[in-house]
Amino acid sequence: MLIHRIKKTPNQLLSISKKMWFACLLIAQGCFVTYLILGYGLTSVTTGLSGWSLLNKTAYIANDPTGNLMYAAHVLLAIVMIIGGSLQLIPTLRVKYTKFHRYNGRLFVLLACTISLAGIYLMVVRGSVGSPLTQGLTIFGGCVVILSSIFAVRAAKTRNIKHHQIWAIRLYLAANGVLFFRLIIFAWFLIFGTLGIDTATFTGPTVLAVSICSYVLPLGIAELIRYAEKTTNTIILITTASIMVLISLIFLVGLSGVVLANWYPAIVG
Ligand code: HEM
């Protein structure tokens, strides 16, 4: 009985740490969506798209209707995608409302791919801050979204639920990469200031490391969790759970930073 309990505890720790991470992500997504609705959504009605320049210098460029349309699609569709994406991961909804899961999943895939293609267009045609390497990592995130979408839908169609879940998680992580980036970089700002960041060009080793941690590392951690869930090795289970707790804390620190220094001031003006 005692051995049974000792064996069970690290699994429970991992399960709790995963829930903790998801809860932190939901809070961050809630703040991000609020910023997008009150910032981009409301401004488009009150001042028109030109008012978006106050939120992001590259958001609106006069005489570039295609770029402005791409940007509008990019940020406004993100509102629906972020809300819908997380609903897909809630087990009760998935099991009890399978029809909703199917339609919402199709919508999520469509939105995530459209947003990624619009983002790649903006980055290539309009340009963005950062080095070619960090921009390349953001584009990598967009490509992972598109590839994972194809594999997740294909697996769902052939009822290969195991593969569907694996690719859906990859899709979800890649689609949230831009949010991870904001949370991690603002956590860094709060703890280490601008160490390793050239603020004039938004380049430097820290920006590169944060890009890797946002667009590549989550895919690796998902693999680690998948492996940990199959093993009875206590060290692996506890290490994985600790990583999830650490990421949750980084998310919370970063969230307070990005809300106070960026999103809140951008909305209140
Ligand atoms: C699929 C998930 C994505 C979401 C939810 C998303 C969301 C957003 C949001 C909300 C903004 C406005 C930023 C602000 O006001 O702070 C933005 C800007 C931007 N995004 Fe994305 N994005 C995604 C993927 C991508 C990808 C894959 C690329 C390019 C490869 C990209 C390129 C851009 C660019 C160039 C901007 C303009 C601002 C800047 O230069 O940083 N996005 N995105």
pLDDT in tens, the chain (269 residues): 445 554 569 999 999 999 999 999 999 999 999 999 999 999 999 988 999 999 998 999 999 999 999 999 999 999 999 999 999 999 999 999 999 999 999 999 999 999 999 999 999 999 999 999 999 999 999 999 999 999 999 999 999 999 999 999 999 999 999 999 999 999 999 999 999 999 999 999 999 999 999 999 999 999 999 999 999 999 999 999 999 999 999 999 999 999 999 999 999 97
pLDDT score recorded for residue 269:
74
pLDDT score recorded for residue 4:
53
Is 214 touching ligand 1 by the criterion CB < 6 Å?
Answer: no
Do 71 and 53 form a contact (C-beta atoms < 8 A)?
Answer: no
What's the CA-to-centroid distance between 168 and ligand 1, angstroms?
Answer: 20
Nearest CA to ligand 1 atom 39: 128
Helix (H, G, I), strand (E, B) or coil at 92: helix
**The two three-digit tokens of residue 84, written as one number:** 């819908």
Nearest CA to ligand 1 atom 28: 119
**The two three-digit tokens of residue 245, written as one number:** 């707790």
Beta strands in the chain (DSSP E): none
Q: What angle do CA 235, 164, 138 make, to 5 degrees?
A: 75
**The two three-digit tokens of residue 252, written as one number:** 């919370």
pLDDT score recorded for residue 231:
96
What's the CA-to-centroid distance between 261 and ligand 1, angstroms?
Answer: 18
What's the CA-to-centroid distance between 65 and ligand 1, angstroms?
Answer: 18
Is 218 touching ligand 1 by the criterion CB < 6 Å?
Answer: no
Do 41 and 267 form a contact (C-beta atoms < 8 A)?
Answer: no
pLDDT score recorded for residue 2:
47
Is 113 touching ligand 1 by the criterion CB < 6 Å?
Answer: no
